[in-house]
Structure 1
Amino acid sequence: MSEDFYCEQVLNGKTAIDKVLETDNVLAYHHTRPFYPVHIVAIPKKHIASLLTLEQCDNELLLELLDVIQKVAAMVTEQHGACRVSTNLGNYQDSKHLHWHISYGDPLVQNVR
């Protein structure tokens, strides 16, 4: 996998996605290789490496991102009764682009981080 799958593949259209919700600055879509029966990824369209690299100038974007995450989480919870919302840092973050997972259900494969 590349260092930034989201910029290199998703945002430039090289990888087909199934959109869930999109704004001018944020994209939420079904994970291309889901780990859960329901697995949605929410990303800013601007490159931000991780939660740790957010800057003061990203505050409005972060609020918009959290609004999209909240809406998607509400949709999943309404359909399934629950969901989890998570982000990864450091070695757990395979793609070096801030992203959040909204998921529901038991892992599809064993030994998933």
Structure 2
Amino acid sequence: MSEDFYCEEVLSGRTPVQKVVETENVLAYHHTRPFYPVHIVTIPKRHISSLITLEKGDNVLLIELMDVVKKVASQVVAEHGACRVITNLGKYQDSKHLHFHVVFGQPLNKG
């Protein structure tokens, strides 16, 4: 996998995705290889490496991103009664592009 799956594959259109919510600056879509029964990824359309690389100038985008995460999480909770919102950093972050996972259910058996 590349360092930034989201820019190189999703945002370029090379990998088609099933959109859940889209704004001018943010995209939420069903994970292409889900780890949970419900697994939605929310990303900014502009490249930001991770949560810890955000700068003060990113505040407006971060608010929009969190609004979309909130909307998606609310939809999942309304449908399933619960969800988790996850972001990964450092070695846990496979794709070096800020993203949040909104998930429900037990992890799927990937073995």
TM range (shorter): over 0.9
Off by >6 Å, runs of 4+ in structure 1: none
Residue 95, structure 1, aligned to residue 95, structure 2: yes
Secondary structure of the 1:97 match is: coil
* CA deviation profile, 1:34-69 (whole Å, cap 9, x unmatched): 000000000000000000100000000000000000
Who is 2:42 aligned against? 42
CA contact (8 A) 2:35 2:110 kept: no
CA contact (8 A) 2:36 2:104 kept: yes
Secondary structure of the 2:102 match is: strand
Structure 2 CA distance for aligned equivalents of residues 107 and 11 of structure 1? 26
Deviation at residue 109 of structure 1 after TM alignment: 1.8
Unaligned stretches of 5+ residues in structure 1: none
TM-score normalised to structure 1 length: 0.96
Paired positions, count: 111
Who is 1:5 aligned against? 5
- CA root-mean-square deviation: 1.0
Structure 2 CA distance for aligned equivalents of residues 14 and 4 of structure 1? 13
Who is 1:54 aligned against? 54
